[in-house]
Amino acid sequence: MYKRAILLILSHKSNSMLLENTFVHHVHFWLKDKADKQLLIEGLKTLLPIEHIRQIHIGIPADTYREVVDRSYDVSLLLLFDSPAAQDAYQIDPTHVLFAENYAKPLCSKVVVADSINI
């Protein structure tokens, strides 16, 4: 009985950790000039009020050094949305458009986006 209770708890935990109804938009930015990192981060923070975003993470490469880890980017943006439609609305939100025009395009030499949905 004790083992079964532990299995039920572990099963519940793993199911509750699984994101559902989530559209993930992960963007990596490579700067033309490394000195502009703080400026780009400030620009990314202008996205915070956009109502379509469920959660946002702005980051820089972690100190992880494994062969499979790409640390070549300068800044990353991870956004969670409730649906593909919410992500579509974000793309045309005036705040996002201004960010792209005023920060991403002039400051970045490369931008790579990976979008994913639940399986």
- Per-residue confidence at 5, pLDDT binned at 50, 70, 90? very low
Cβ–Cβ < 8 Å for 87, 81: yes
Nearest by Cα to 41 from 52, 56, 55, 54: 56
pLDDT at residue 17, rounded to an integer: 84
Q: Is residue 90 part of a domain?
A: yes
**Residue 43 phi/psi, 5° resolution?**
-65, -40
pLDDT in tens, 72-110: 999 999 999 999 999 999 999 999 999 999 999 999 999
Would residue 12 count as lying in a domain? no
**Does residue 92 lie within any of the structural domains?**
yes
Total number of domains in the chain: 1
Q: Are 52 and 88 in contact (CB under 8 A)?
A: no
User: Helix (H, G, I), strand (E, B), or coil: what is residue 82?
Assistant: coil
| Residue 102 belongs to some domain of the structure | yes
Q: Above 90 in pLDDT, residue 10? A: no
Exposed / middle / buried, residue 80 (Cβ in 10 Å: 0-12, 13-18, 19+): middle
The domain of 97 spans 19-117
pLDDT tens string 13-61: 556 788 899 999 999 999 999 999 999 999 999 999 999 999 999 999 9
Domain-embedded: residue 98: yes
pTM of the shown model: 0.85
Instruction: Give me the CATH number covering residue 62.
Output: 3.30.70.100
Is 106 contained in some domain? yes
